[in-house]
Amino acid sequence: MRKPAKLVIATHNPGKLREIRALLAPLGIECVGAEELDLPEPEETGNTFVDNAELKARQAADLSGLPALADDSGLSVDALHGHPGIFSARWAEDGGGGRDFGRAMERVWREVEAAGPDAGRDAHFVCVLSLASPHGAMESFEGRCDGTLAWPPRGDRGFGYDPMFVKTGMTQTFAEIDPAQKHNISHRADAFAKLVAALGEA
Ligand code: ITT
């Protein structure tokens, strides 16, 4: 796919929107958020990160008539056989239409402790970025960031599970470091580098 002049960022998550805008800024692409266009939030019916990223990108491209970039991401914990994974946002649902990541992180930690000390504390974030054209083309790029879980959660920057995630080789959580640093080393940055390389080759 060629580098688009204008792109819909097909997410309703303000934390992701901030990060994707920062990643796209150097590319000189005009970005518009899904909420600015009043696009509905699709139901994530897929069984994989790729399925869900592609269904979000496809819906936004079809409804807006513009190329659309969607992100499906999550935290996969080894001791929980990859959970919450694609259910990362759903583990935070508070029953009243909102999200409570404090509660979601507590559930992760509770289940990790229940798995016992031998299960370890390793985890990784996954991010799939899907770029859909309104004419039917679709390309997806997967990024990953390995690390370990920290408890209790630390830091008030970032979003989602950032306060309990320490990237391998680091000591601070993703919620303690400067967001600009996270943008260089995260699962989203990894996927984004692959996307940019593919656009450069088009
Ligand atoms: P959209 O579908 O509208 O993009 P969402 O929040 O529902 O927003 P996902 O279904 O992809 O997105 O859910 C992924 C969840 O995983 C997200 O809500 C975060 O809490 C978590 N997550 C993803 N990337 C993260 C990151 O960089 N840091 C911390 N948590 C992250």
Q: How far is the CA of 89 from the centre of ligand 1 (A)?
A: 6
Give the list of residues 6+ apart from residue 117 with CB closer than 8 angstroms, or none.
none
**Which residue's CA is the nearest one to ligand 1's atom 4?**
11
**Which residue's CA is the nearest one to ligand 1's atom 22?**
74
For the stretch 19-28, pLDDT in tens is 999 888 888 8
Question: Per the structure, how many domains does the chain have?
Answer: 1
Annotated catalytic, 72?
yes
pLDDT range class, residue 199, cuts 50, 70, 90: confident
Asked whether residue 117 is assigned to any structural domain, the reply reads: yes
The pocket around ligand 1, CB under 6 angstroms, is made up of 11-13, 16, 41, 44, 56, 71-74, 88-89, 101, 125, 158-162, 174, 186, 188
Instruction: Tell me which residue of 8, 160, 134 sits closest to 75, measured CA to CA.
Output: 160
Backbone angles phi, psi at 76, to 5 degrees: -110, 120
Asked whether residue 1 is assigned to any structural domain, the reply reads: no
CATH code at position 90: 3.90.950.10
Per this entry, what is the length of the chain? 202
Asked whether residue 105 is assigned to any structural domain, the reply reads: yes
What tokens appear for 174 in the block? 């993703």
pLDDT of residue 201: 61
Counting ligand 1 atoms within 8 A of each CB, the residue from 11, 13, 187 with the most, and so the one to mutate, is: 13
pLDDT at residue 166 tops 80: yes
CB 159 within 8 A of CB 89: no
Asked whether residue 18 is assigned to any structural domain, the reply reads: yes
Q: Which of 71, 72, 162, 190 is catalytic?
A: 72
**Which residue's CA is the nearest one to ligand 1's atom 6?**
13
CA gap 148, 140 in Å, rounded:
26
What is the Cβ-side half-sphere exposure of residue 160, based on CA atoms within 13 angstroms?
A: 20
pLDDT at residue 202 tops 70: no
Asked whether residue 170 is assigned to any structural domain, the reply reads: yes
When pLDDT is averaged across residues 181-199 and rounded to a whole number, the result is 94
Q: How far is the CA of 140 from the centre of ligand 1 (A)?
A: 17
pLDDT range class, residue 200, cuts 50, 70, 90: confident
* pTM of the predicted structure, to 2 decimals: 0.96
Q: What is the DSSP letter of 195?
A: H
* Domain limits for position 49: 6-201
What's the alpha-carbon Rg for the chain, to the nearest Å?
17
Q: How far is the CA of 75 from the centre of ligand 1 (A)?
A: 9
